[in-house]
Structure 1
């Protein structure tokens, strides 16, 4: 179980403790608002994310309108059975930051690094958050682009549902691979 007290002191603990105690949160309080300034501060912190050649391709769409959030989550398709989050972020990455064919995947890599930073920054702020895939059909991706007026030069990286978590939530036991299993030393 995870309760709100677990997140109250996140801005005063070391990174290792913060990272090891971070869990995805899908259970949000109804009608509880996260201040937009806290979201903006999380974005500000995340601007220090690494990117190749410091190109900084990441972009953030902050959705606060509850009707829009509902529509977008229906298109996303993987957030069912929970209270709707107060805020929904969409991370995109601008492909025009990259110049050569060999860099064709870099927008996704840098967008993923930025997304990870946002997730940790939200955790630091004590805000519950959950990464949500943008692996949707081309038709759904087109609708998402139309709804948010996203230009074609930006690729969709992920949605992040965020809000104030319920007082107590169950989190799944998420076993992790061991260091030895994933590491090969040469």
Structure 2
């Protein structure tokens, strides 16, 4: 069982080319179900998923986003991953909305792969955060919601070869007890 889950993780790729085919509602429900079961801080479950299939909306998201230019709006659907900030009240909780949203997004991405769908997580690192106000207006997103990321998703175009990304050596991820015996990051081996 453990090997099969690792195989799912290892075979998932960021897909940037899709065919024009509608995603059935039952698959969308399973994507949301997978996101719903993601861990969240204090089980707050603050994540909301805004599904956008309208071309004007997809074009607007791609225009505002720093990632996905030239391909994201070609996906059948784009999912805006949001978190409800009203649930996080204390100053030291300021990053939890983003962490909780990213955990839900990861579950969704893995379920998309299992469903035979292709997706690509786009971060939401804007050079000018005020540029996202156009999305808040267009989609009527409440001000207490924060955009965590965007996921273009659809059926992959099988005619496009997907590059298999190299992974850093396992030793780059493991530190035992403290950093005293750690030999440094092996960026040159990437």
Q: CA deviation at 1:163?
A: 0.6
1:160 pairs, out of 151, 160, 165, with 151
Structure 1 residue corresponding to 2:25, chosen from 28, 36, 42: 36
Aligned twin of 1:7: none
In the other structure, the counterpart of 1:10 is none
SS of residue paired to 1:168: coil
With the length of structure 2 as denominator, give the TM-score of the two structures: 0.85
Take 1:148 and 1:174, find their aligned partners in 2: how far apart are those partners?
34
Among 89, 99, 114, the residue aligned to 1:124: 114
Contact residue 13 and residue 164 of structure 2 kept, 8 A: no
- Tell me whether 115-124 or 81-90 shows the greater mean CA deviation: 81-90
C-alpha RMSD of the superposition: 1.6
Residue 22 of structure 2 corresponds to residue 20 of structure 1: no
Instruction: Say if 2:127 is the partner of 1:134.
Output: no
TM-score (norm 1): 0.86
**Superposed displacement of residue 61, structure 1:** 0.2
Matched with 1:182 is 173
Aligned residue pair count: 173
CA drift at 1:132: 1.2
Residue 105 of structure 1 aligns with which residue? Answer: 95
Stretch moving more, 95-104 or 19-28: 95-104
Shift of 1:176: 1.3
Match of 1:60 in 2: 49
Q: Once the 2 structures are TM-superposed, how far is the Cα of residue 93 of structure 1 from its aligned partner?
A: 0.7
1:86 is aligned, of 53, 59, 76, to: 76
Shift of 1:37: 2.5
1:77 to partner: Cα distance: 4.3
The 3-state SS of whatever aligns with 1:169 is coil
CA distance in 2, matches of 1:33, 1:162: 10
Preserved contact between residue 43 and residue 121 of structure 1 (Cα < 8 Å): no
Structure 1: 4+ residue segments shifted above 3 A: 80-83
Identify unmatched segments of 5+ residues in structure 2.
178-190
